[in-house]
Amino acid sequence: MANRDLAFIGDVHLDHGDGHLEPFLAFLERLADTCGTIVFIGDLFNVWLGDRAVERAHQTAVVERCVALRRRGVVVRYIEGNRDYRIGGAYGGTAFDDVTTEALTESCGGMRVWAVHGDLVNVSDRQYRAWRRFSRLGAAWTVFRAIPRCCRASLAESVEARMRATNLDYKRDFPETLVRAHGATRLATGFDAVVLGHFHVERELHEGTGRIFVLPDWRESHRWLRFAADGSIGFETA
């Protein structure tokens, strides 16, 4: 799949019974015609647990499509977002070539790219950062897995709903200064571009000779970011 394009997709937030599911599956199928690598920058579903026992139909449909893309030779990578929990253990090597909880690097068209979900950019949001640390502890996961299977998904959705209602001051405005500072740190290490999701807005920021791209949420915009093999970069509509 050399000399093919690189795609970044952010914050799809699919849910059960979601009318966006079929258009998204069709989009992925078309994307495989031109892109050799697809990177999901987290929050593919409204809530996603790395537990096949509680997988729902809309999740199964996307997982099966990703498996099919890999069979066609497309590299599919995943960065866990703030709605994702231990995805790598359940889906790494099947739906995805690899899964990371932190950041990943890519290259295309002579560009070195550093990508991350972006939920830790706002260092002042201590409440969320504490929750993130706790929710990803091995002990917390052990306790969660001890809950009856029928209750796990509804419990996770309930917790996420409560988290969405907290710290609204940090979620209301796009923190451009923090995003620029975060991106500039990586650009200074030799990367040509930084890609983030999480904020649900589309931005292209310039820092020196480097560029910082913030992905819009696919669910509302159907927009995504292409790094082309010829060196061009741009947001596109599915």
pLDDT in tens, 34-62: 999 999 999 999 989 888 988 999 999 99
How far are the Cα atoms of 95, 129, 223 from residue 184, in angstroms, in the given order?
32, 22, 24
Nearest to 35 by CA among 79, 78, 73: 73
Q: Between 175 and 164, name the one with better pLDDT.
A: 175
In the chain, the number of structural domains is 1
Q: How many CA atoms lie within 13 A of 160 on its CB side?
A: 19
Is pLDDT above 60 for 168?
no
Is pLDDT above 60 for 197?
yes
pLDDT of residue 166: 58
CATH number of the domain bearing residue 68 = 3.60.21.10
Task: Provide φ and ψ at 95, rounded to 5°.
Answer: -75, -30
Identity (one letter) of the amino acid at 223? R
The first and second tokens of residue 222, run together, are: 């159907």
Q: What is the pTM of this model?
A: 0.90
Task: For residue 138, name the pLDDT band (cuts at 50, 70, 90).
Answer: confident
